Amino acid sequence: MRPEVKYKLIEKLILIEDDELLSQVEAILEGSSQLNEDLKQELDRRMIKFHSGESKLYTWNEVKDDIQKSK
């Protein structure tokens, strides 16, 4: 990444006043996750359903088509 892009990001970061957003940026930079235990359990449950074939993934085009059909 070019240095001028990094400097612009730093300037934007300095101007942020939203503590929650700053916490999220900090977590990203530190490589940690802010998922609480309930969210982790829900994701695990969904992964189990997916791997067992109980749930299906959809492409973005399939989702858009389904929305258009329901209108």
20-48: average pLDDT:
84
Single-letter amino acid, residue 44? D
pLDDT score at 25: 87
pLDDT score at 33: 62
Which structure tokens are listed for 8? 């612009």
- Buried b / exposed e over 56-69, threshold 16 CB at 10 Å, is eeeeeeeeeeeeee
pLDDT score at 64: 93
Global pTM value:
0.41
Total Cβ atoms within 10 A of residue 25: 14
